Amino acid sequence: MKYHATYSRFKESNVAWLGEIPKHWSVTRFKYLFDLNPTKSAVANRRYALCSFLPMEKLKTDTIVLDEIRVVDEVYEGYSYFSDGDILIAKVTPCFENRNIAVAADLTNRIGFGSTEINVIRAKSSINTRFLYYRLQEDQFRRIAISEMTGTGGLKRVPSELFQVFKVAIPPYNEQAVISAEIDKEIERIDKLVSKKNKFVELLKEKRQALITHSVTTGIVKNANLQESGIKWVEQVPSHWEVVPGIWLFAESKETAREDDQHLSATQKYGVIPLSEYERLENRQVTHAIKNLEKRKHVELDDFVISMRSFQGGIERVKARGCVRSSYVVLKASDEADVDYFAYLFKSSAYIQGLQATSSFIRDGQDLNYGNFRQVKLPKPPLEEQKRIAQYLNQQTARIDALIEKTQHSVALLTERRAAFITAAVTGQIDLRGEE
């Protein structure tokens, strides 16, 4: 970690969350530094001009996606107005917690409108916009803002009053520019490292998927004799393998839920797991079914479930006994199918393409059914070979997953360092002025 000098003289701020601040800094309230959600009067006579339009989901950390253009008159009422140079910050959970904040730039005709869940902050002449942008990302302000959120469930918002009365310590204007420029340089360095590591993770995920697809369709024996498979989603399979209808290996189960069944959630990320475990892993609550519970379907450990997302991410393996939605298809493996092998095959990119080819009407949100499953023939290695392939993939994917986890941990540390550096710089914990 690079060493940074500290200020030599401090004073008491008399603000609990600020503590001591550099002696030449001053304490003020946000309302004296910026205008919150400025009036639209500046564009009142430009109702037929084109402007950029920004939905909530297109505001990210230091980034806005400007791929929508509207006529000002279409969005003048019911949306937030902003201009080039304004700071845009999400007010609603979880977007605020996710640091969805950016400075507007390159807007069509310098005019923008967006979601009312975005607070627009326009810096006054007394503060440098970049310094203010970073000051709004400081950890203590964020913690207080999150604690002050009001509303219910997933609709909690940071109260507008906080952006008026919150007290901050501010250096002289010229020093603000120096500090923000140094932050810019450090953040650019960190973001480049994060981008490089994220690209590496994506390459590892691609390698993992390619390894799985190759192993479950052509085996793990080098130079094996191959034959035409006779199915579209995989061209060749080892000559001693069979290619059989899926219903030869997997039967559909329609058993309804039992009285003591726990509710399970079918997820692409974790498989079919208890709903409570999913909420814990994702650190969020989801809607619980309260109607037609008697129609839900019973599943056992190592069954498979075809869910509404299976045409995107494959068929999910059941990790716990319980019940799933009545619209899902439950598959039970025969003695000739090794569930470990088919768990890999059902998540392979080639098999997913095979599923997608069974219907031209499937769209996001629609369920696959047993009829779709029946249409996709499956490679069937000898049972012992299925087990060997699964064991091989367990070992190889574990190595890749460990490397992915290590890299993602490194990204998390860099992200923490990014936030810590911003906080230290804008609160006077470090002195970025250099030689004077």
Report the distance separating Cα 63 and Cα 408, nearest Å. Answer: 21
Domain 10-191+416-426 architecture: Alpha-Beta Complex (3.90)
For β-strands 242-244 and 59-60, DSSP reports them as unpaired
Residue 360 has what pLDDT? 61
What is the token pair recorded at 134? 């970073």
Q: Which residues, listed in sequence order, are joined to residue 167 by a DSSP beta bridge?
A: 29
Look at residue 291 in the predicted model and tell me its pLDDT: 67
- Degrees (nearest 5) of the Cα angle 388, 393, 394? 95
Q: Which residues pair with 123 in a beta bridge?
A: 34
Parallel, antiparallel or unpaired: strands 50-54 and 111-114: parallel
Using alpha carbons only, how large is the chain's radius of gyration in Å?
28
Hey, is 244 helix, strand or coil? strand
- Where helices occur in 228-303 by DSSP H, the ranges are 275-282
What is the CATH number that goes with domain 220-380? 3.90.220.20
DSSP SS3 for 99: coil
Q: Which two tokens stand for residue 352?
A: 């997913």
As a whole number of angstroms, the distance between CA 149 and CA 140 comes to: 14
Domains 10-191+416-426 and 220-380 share a fold: yes
Q: How far apart are CA 94 and CA 89, in angstroms?
A: 12
- E strand intervals along 147-270: 167-170, 226-231, 234-238, 242-244, 250-253, 264-267
pLDDT at 2: 63
311, two tokens: 């045409």
> pLDDT 10s per residue in the chain (436 long)?
466 899 999 999 999 999 999 999 999 999 999 999 999 999 999 999 999 999 999 999 999 999 999 999 999 999 999 999 999 999 998 899 999 999 999 999 999 999 999 999 999 999 999 999 999 999 999 999 999 999 876 689 999 999 999 999 999 999 999 999 999 999 999 999 999 999 999 999 999 999 999 999 999 998 889 999 999 899 999 999 999 999 999 999 999 999 899 999 999 889 999 999 998 888 777 766 666 677 899 999 999 999 877 778 889 999 999 999 998 999 999 999 999 999 999 999 999 999 888 876 455 445 678 888 999 999 999 999 999 999 999 999 999 999 999 999 999 999 999 999 999 999 999 999 985 5
Among candidate residues 216, 246, 227, 231, the one with its CA nearest the CA of residue 354: 231
Give the DSSP letter of residue 8.
S
DSSP string, 131-162: HHHHHTT-HHHHHHHHHT-BSSGGG-B--TTH
Q: Report the SS3 class of residue 197.
A: helix
CA 53 – CA 65 distance, rounded (Å): 9
Is residue 314 a contact partner of residue 350, using CB atoms and an 8 Å limit? no
**Burial readout 218-255 (b: 16 or more C-beta within 10 A, e: otherwise):** bbbeeeeeeeebeeebbeebbeebeeeebeebbeeeee
Alpha carbon separation from 330 to 307, 315, 366 (Å, rounded): 9, 10, 16
Model pTM score: 0.84
* H or E stretch at 34: strand 34-36
pLDDT at 245: 95
**Residue 154, pLDDT score:** 64
Distance separating alpha carbons of residues 2 and 186, to the nearest angstrom: 10
Q: Where exactly are the structural domains of the chain? A: 10-191+416-426, 220-380
pLDDT of residue 262: 93
